[in-house]
Structure 1
């Protein structure tokens, strides 16, 4: 062995020892501070220690291309603005001397005796192009101002980013797209965020992935570097973050905090990490689910341009009772006026509300339109008193029992169902018989969120049919509801024709449902409850999760009872009027429902037209504690009667509305009870009346 070979071998052995440590630590220096008895890691140089840490940076402007579309979204033209922004150019922020955004954030966090600095070097610029397959993102457009916006999978972008830039030897990667929002977990319903940050799991590189906004559709309110500074600020506050850990636990990499409340008007838990679960939104941010992130910006002039910077929570904001300074946010010290509040005890509050409220009786023989709901059988959450079917409010017309799920101990396609804890099988059977005698419909829902179902072989169809038939026969259910969510029914690459699907799981599911219908006869009911990406998402792009229920609708159209799209599990979408709409608004419910009613060209391309469904096969899906009863009421009234609310922007293609619309679906009946029947007591009586009475 030559000396040169020995030296190379020695270096290889050293790298084997060092690389795992680099991956664990990231490629940017960090320091720790102990607050409230716990150690927290920050990026850069401790301000209390004299000296300067200089961080090399690789700036990566990303051009996105989209399968089947010639349009490109390029960030290369935004490089000059980013380089001149406070990310790299020192400015006075929050009363500090001129500093870069990250350095000023550290000084605002630890102001006492702050003498040390963290400086991002002038970066090397390396543009790359990432091709987005049909199942990993799509483009939105606004007909009014011509603006375009992308919605893409952050995991896919991160993976391809580091495939093209495999290792940076100590640099901070700052990558950004143009006019782009992201969804997480490869699931478009887990939307939306401005990016991600932390340590890449494949290379060990420290990175920030964000976007630059310019000439965007009016529905997007953030501007220029605001999304990028949000991710940069969160990176400085939590440099060890691993983007794969959506729900922060004490064992997960990065900083962990007591669960904190999202905001003054929001009783939900924001998370246990820096930013909210899934979305990495700041506590200053007002939009926490399924829409473009939005929060007030801090504006500062640099180089003659007014930059918009994200207001972020300082580290001690998350630690209620730990005092580091008298302010809780940066750069705007007034953005957060008090420290985080712990998540409220919802069980106690809801128990009180439920005990002091009562369900309204249903008048008449039945509703003009149906109130449809999912029942899980839990009165106050897991481990609490069971909630029996016989105690469901009489306002509900169609009850979907959730869920028959894939049997982990059986071949693929086999499902099993067990009554909720505390409810005996005979009790459930008696309750189902009672409700049916009252004219109610009770069906079993198959699947559910978080359950992965596949039926990839035709030989698995008999197991699917026999297992589902056994559940139906044992309990007396009147049909099945299909709730196979992403990624269960993702379309395979090359499956582009909804009338002639080639994805085995889709083809075999259609065949299995037809066998069930033949087995139980014409009275057997079949409903579909797709996520927003699985039906209206097919308008923007067709492939993967997007439009995956279109072949089911087409293949079952002659035996289908109804479809109720989940208008809450859905990212922003284009309507038939060429404008972009976000969930939790009357406009969104109207626009997305009309896509299903009127039909569209999948992927927006001329070809096979999806003809839509008649109104008597369509219901609208809502989420309790997300959609308010007022929004539900207005949306249903508009869709059924055509009477446009004063503040609505989307104009129905059918001015008279859709009087035959089946009704409204809710997840869940249990939550409605916990919240004092505030949905069923209001929406049920509305659905009982005829359109003329509204």
Structure 2
């Protein structure tokens, strides 16, 4: 049965590859060992010149979520066309390798240095502008009050589909579509952010295309400039012209190969930002989801950034993307050069290293902690260290609750998950392998006796949950009640991530929601609270898109937790927004912030503490959440103890650390706020309690918030 399934997948992939190759730009195949790779152009051994007809499509984006003089706000790439035509994308520049030619041609000639009189050139393009409307829920605009610059965050899957509804099939031509000052998120989920575009073959039209942004007068936090995003996506297209960006990258991670070049899993090199080393980049050209180059220094939740290669003409300087060449992915093969990156040959000085099936070159969880957890001292002060527990210890061994550091005040067990092929709304909790149910229940009772709170989290990343029908509410309340009662949990934590909660079209008032899944969830939460009584705890852990993204735009996934937070504000125990699952966002000071900084944590938390105009509409004001119901969410694998410590001190006391640019609207801070949440307690333990041993004592030393 399994063999038959694999054969069907292979046949599907082969059929799709043949279908998409018809009508695309010219390509050739080059073999390295037992693998064959498709690239743009003609066989270098034949020494011919291939000129590719090109259509340049400047896109004007029209945003329903932002108005200017009562009309949708527009950002157009039309004024950027001349700069792109004069750039190395279409004009000849002198490169250290590859000669004086266009960017893509020089890159290919560096890949195959022995090929003489061989070129792959882009013809002077036809220019065909289009306007695309971005509905509420598919993107938003951020504006810097300081310099007036604007930047858009857009669903790349939606944009690609909308683009090729206007651009018909162009046999043998390359479509280069460009937006202005725009970054993109993937798979219709704004937490999967950010990239500079997409490339490959559009499955609906068969068009070969490159979609990217031109950056002009972008906000100061954007490091890349002018045609750098265009050259990145163009280079990736040249090296992988049959890629289909609308196919789910998760399928490729599970070994299902669709059209496009596939490489052995490669490890992100030391050139990438600290914390990325040792992580797998993927099996394709650039990394999965974000299409980051191995030369990039940023990763998820940031604008892509890379040290640019500068070239100059008589009237302009252009920033070009350094990219990995085919030999970097494959190693030196027949006909390939020994240069691993272009245009800067020094950007990558050795070929890719393979990644293990576990996703890292080495198993980072192989050892037990070598440091001791600090004991809890002092009387309770209302400030709490909150953490998620999954039960996974060193080298796959179980991690029982009674071994948790005493610094943790609230332990949230992850997860009770939706049951597939069961009635809608049904959830089930399964103990991690190796743990005994009786001991687990005894551990919960022990922790509660020590004054800890132990909750069960519902949902979790990658799990889809909905209560689309009111008739399903009893399934939800019954299954959750059974879990809580059986194990003795203090309450529930709601972790239904995108796309589980999506605001329906036409639902514009967070105080009176009409989206069935949201309305029914609110009803279910109230029924659970009524059933268990006033001591029953309910917490919310929204992604950044589900609360603070409601400031620039309200609809779809943006702001989807606002109606829930507002509706259960009287029975809400606390809310802790995930400051790690988030695209760039705007603070109350009118400036744009990226995740991972003290400024971001302060700005996004103050949105919740201060309240804000939902979707920028002063008639839709989301009121402040009381400070004693607000915590900040951190990711152990992404944050550092120093940044967390500075952020918590700033938010609670108002004392800004050196280098902070965001100014709290309440200068004295918010001494009543709870504290910090971490995903996960398990990872903190394996990292020698580097967060709990620092942040726990810090929180517990503050004056009481009661």
TM-score by length of 1: 0.94
Q: Deviations over 1:179-221 (max 9, x none)?
A: 0000001111100000011111222221111010111111112
Does the 8 Å contact 2:109/2:115 carry over to 1? no
Aligned CA distance change for structure 1 residues 279 and 73 (closer, same or farther; 3 Å): same
Residue-pair matches, total: 675
Aligned CA distance change for structure 1 residues 131 and 367 (closer, same or farther; 3 Å): same
Residue of structure 1 aligned with 2:187, choices 185, 195, 204: 185
> Is 1:488 the equivalent of 2:485?
no
Corresponding residue of 2:241 = 239
Residue of structure 2 aligned with 1:134, choices 119, 126, 136: 136
Residue of structure 1 aligned with 2:699, choices 678, 687, 690: 687
Corresponding residue of 1:147 = 149
Residue of structure 1 aligned with 2:547, choices 535, 538, 541: 535
Corresponding residue of 2:371 = 357
**What is the alpha-carbon distance in structure 2 between the residues aligned to residue 503 and residue 390 of structure 1?**
41
Residue of structure 1 aligned with 2:55, choices 34, 58, 78: 58
**What is the alpha-carbon distance in structure 2 between the residues aligned to residue 612 and residue 55 of structure 1?**
57
Range with bigger deviation, 574-583 or 416-425 = 416-425
CA RMSD for the aligned pairs? 2.0
Q: How far apart are 1:222 and its partner, in Å?
A: 1.0
Residue of structure 1 aligned with 2:39, choices 38, 42, 51: 42
Taking the TM superposition and a 5 Å limit, the aligned residue runs for 1:499-538 are: 499-538=511-550
**What is the alpha-carbon distance in structure 2 between the residues aligned to residue 545 and residue 18 of structure 1?**
35
Corresponding residue of 2:449 = 437
Corresponding residue of 2:263 = 257
Q: How far apart are 1:351 and its partner, in Å?
A: 4.1
Corresponding residue of 1:6 = none
Q: How far apart are 1:692 and its partner, in Å?
A: 9.5
Q: Deviations over 1:343-385 (max 9, x none)?
A: 478596634653422222222344651111111111147xx21
Q: Deviations over 1:64-115 (max 9, x none)?
A: 0111423200011111111121111122223332211111111111112343
Corresponding residue of 1:226 = 228
Taking the TM superposition and a 5 Å limit, the aligned residue runs for 1:285-434 are: 285-302=296-313, 304-320=315-331, 324-343=336-355, 350-351=364-365, 354-366=368-380, 368-380=382-394, 384-434=396-446
Q: Could you list the runs of 5+ residues in structure 2 that have no partner in the other structure?
A: 1-13
Taking the TM superposition and a 5 Å limit, the aligned residue runs for 1:576-595 are: 576-595=588-607
Corresponding residue of 1:10 = none
Taking the TM superposition and a 5 Å limit, the aligned residue runs for 1:54-133 are: 54-68=51-65, 69=67, 70-133=72-135
Q: How far apart are 1:23 and its partner, in Å?
A: 2.0
Does the 8 Å contact 2:267/2:361 carry over to 1? no
Does the 8 Å contact 2:97/2:106 carry over to 1? no
Aligned CA distance change for structure 1 residues 477 and 295 (closer, same or farther; 3 Å): same
Q: How far apart are 1:513 and its partner, in Å?
A: 0.2
Does the 8 Å contact 1:483/1:530 carry over to 2? yes
**What is the alpha-carbon distance in structure 2 between the residues aligned to residue 405 and residue 26 of structure 1?**
45
**What is the alpha-carbon distance in structure 2 between the residues aligned to residue 292 and residue 94 of structure 1?**
28
**What is the alpha-carbon distance in structure 2 between the residues aligned to residue 692 and residue 648 of structure 1?**
26
**What is the alpha-carbon distance in structure 2 between the residues aligned to residue 365 and residue 260 of structure 1?**
50
Q: Matched residue of 1:135: which SS?
A: coil
Taking the TM superposition and a 5 Å limit, the aligned residue runs for 1:439-478 are: 439-478=451-490
Q: Deviations over 1:530-572 (max 9, x none)?
A: 0001000000100000011000011000000000000000000
Q: Matched residue of 2:518: which SS?
A: helix
Q: How far apart are 1:47 and its partner, in Å?
A: 2.6
Aligned CA distance change for structure 1 residues 199 and 392 (closer, same or farther; 3 Å): same
Aligned CA distance change for structure 1 residues 688 and 83 (closer, same or farther; 3 Å): same
Range with bigger deviation, 336-345 or 132-141 = 336-345
Q: Deviations over 1:410-457 (max 9, x none)?
A: 111111111112223222212211211111111010111111111111
Residue of structure 2 aligned with 1:196, choices 182, 192, 198: 198
**What is the alpha-carbon distance in structure 1 between the residues aligned to residue 575 and residue 584 of structure 2?**
20
Q: How far apart are 1:320 and its partner, in Å?
A: 4.9
Corresponding residue of 2:667 = 655
Does the 8 Å contact 1:368/1:687 carry over to 2? no
Q: Matched residue of 1:350: which SS?
A: coil
Does the 8 Å contact 1:46/1:117 carry over to 2? no
**What is the alpha-carbon distance in structure 2 between the residues aligned to residue 591 and residue 542 of structure 1?**
18
Aligned CA distance change for structure 1 residues 19 and 635 (closer, same or farther; 3 Å): closer
Aligned CA distance change for structure 1 residues 94 and 496 (closer, same or farther; 3 Å): same
Q: How far apart are 1:691 and its partner, in Å?
A: 4.8
Q: Deviations over 1:139-191 (max 9, x none)?
A: 00011111000000000000101111131122111111000000001111100
Does the 8 Å contact 2:547/2:560 carry over to 1? yes
Does the 8 Å contact 2:97/2:110 carry over to 1? no
**What is the alpha-carbon distance in structure 2 between the residues aligned to residue 511 and residue 505 of structure 1?**
10
Q: Deviations over 1:631-665 (max 9, x none)?
A: 11111111111110111100111111111110100
**What is the alpha-carbon distance in structure 2 between the residues aligned to residue 204 and residue 451 of structure 1?**
33
Does the 8 Å contact 1:26/1:199 carry over to 2? no
Q: Matched residue of 2:563: which SS?
A: helix
Aligned CA distance change for structure 1 residues 427 and 371 (closer, same or farther; 3 Å): same
**What is the alpha-carbon distance in structure 1 between the residues aligned to residue 193 and residue 53 of structure 2?**
32
Q: Could you list the runs of 5+ residues in structure 1 that have no partner in the other structure?
A: 1-16
Q: How far apart are 1:257 and its partner, in Å?
A: 2.1
Q: How far apart are 1:135 and its partner, in Å?
A: 0.4
Does the 8 Å contact 1:353/1:676 carry over to 2? no
**What is the alpha-carbon distance in structure 2 between the residues aligned to residue 431 and residue 298 of structure 1?**
57
Corresponding residue of 1:603 = 615
**What is the alpha-carbon distance in structure 2 between the residues aligned to residue 203 and residue 19 of structure 1?**
13
Q: Matched residue of 1:98: which SS?
A: strand
**What is the alpha-carbon distance in structure 2 between the residues aligned to residue 511 and residue 565 of structure 1?**
22
Q: Deviations over 1:612-637 (max 9, x none)?
A: 20110000000011011111111111
**What is the alpha-carbon distance in structure 2 between the residues aligned to residue 664 and residue 262 of structure 1?**
30
Q: How far apart are 1:304 and its partner, in Å?
A: 2.1
Corresponding residue of 1:279 = 290
Corresponding residue of 2:7 = none
**What is the alpha-carbon distance in structure 2 between the residues aligned to residue 18 and residue 357 of structure 1?**
56
